[in-house]
């Protein structure tokens, strides 16, 4: 199962690699600053069997 994901920063558009693990839960949320522009990004990750979805948005 894939645990490394490339996402696009919703502020500056740069691609960032993040790592999430299914053993940490089927639904995960975390806020991390972009490595390039330092703005906060909300990551929402859902693991469903072999299907994994990662959604990113600007954090409040």
pLDDT digits (tens, 9 = 90+) for 1-58: 678 899 999 999 999 999 999 999 999 999 999 999 999 999 999 998 888 999 999 9
Boundaries of domain holding 18: 4-58
The helix, strand and coil proportions of the chain, stated in percent and rounded to the nearest 5, come to 5, 55, 40
pLDDT, residue 49, reads: 82
Contact present, 25 and 43 (Cβ < 8 Å): no
List the beta bridge partners of residue 5.
Answer: 18
pLDDT, residue 9, reads: 97
Number of domains the chain is built from: 1
Q: Which pTM does this prediction carry? A: 0.85
Euclidean distance between the first and final Cα of the chain, in Å?
31
| C-alpha pair distances (Å), 16 with each of 4, 7, 23, 51, 59 | 10, 5, 22, 20, 16
pLDDT, residue 1, reads: 65
pLDDT, residue 7, reads: 94
């Amino acid at each position: 199962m894939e645990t490394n994901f490339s996402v696009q920063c919703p502020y500056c558009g740069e691609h960032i690699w993040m790592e999430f693990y299914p053993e940490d839960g089927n639904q995960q949320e975390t806020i991390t600053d972009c490595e390039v522009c330092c703005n906060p990004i909300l990551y929402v990750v859902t693991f469903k069997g072999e299907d994994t979805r990662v959604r990113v948005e600007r954090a409040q």
